[in-house]
Each structure stands twice: as C-alpha cells, then as structure tokens.
Amino acid sequence: MLYDLAAITAAFSVAVSNLISPSAIRHLGPIVFNCWRLGAALFALVALVTLRGGWNLPSKVHLLALVTSSTIGIVVGDSCIYAAMVRLGPRRTAVIYTT
C-alpha cells in the first residue's frame, strides 16, 4: 500500500512539474532549472532518509551503475528535454517524450 502511494505521488509530481515548468525553464534556462529541480529532489531524499532513520549503502558495482545512470538519464537527458521544451513548446516536447 505504501509503495503504491509513493508511485502515485511520484507520477503526480512529474505531471505537475511538466505543467508548471515551461515558464520557469524560459525564465531560468534549462540547465539552471534542472539544477534547482535536482536540488529539491536531493532535499526530499535527505528528509526521507532522516525520517526513516537510516540509509543502506549499495555495493560498489551498484553504486557505479546508479551514478552512471543518473548522470546520463537525469543530468544530461533532462537538461536536453528542458532545452527542447523551450524550443518546441511543452506540447510537442510531451509527444516526443512519450514516444
């Protein structure tokens, strides 16, 4: 039940951020906007870890895979999708994103 609620909350937050992000991206730029977004996600993660009372560290192999995936997917990929949103507009970017 808790995992279902977390998944729904994550999907809702992504949907809301895609609705409110175009004006912020135009104002801040895609890279600065992505840095603010990642900072907010880091803050939420630290708060969640603090509330849970601990953190289980992954193995070195899993940590390397996580860092590589995060760098490519979140930092590079999201910065590019936000740059596309500025140039193409949110509707066309959403079509490309969902394909």
pLDDT score, position 20: 79
Note the pLDDT tens digit of each residue in 56-77: 888 889 989 988 988 888 888 8
With bands split at pLDDT 50, 70 and 90, how would you rate the model's confidence at 41?
confident
Note the pLDDT tens digit of each residue in 7-17: 898 888 877 87
φ, ψ (nearest 5 deg) of residue 29: 100, 155
How crowded is residue 90: how many other Cβ atoms within 10 Å of its Cβ?
Answer: 17
Query: What totals of helices (H) and strands (E) does the chain contain, helices first?
Result: 5, 0
Indicate the average pLDDT of the chain: 83
SS3 60: helix
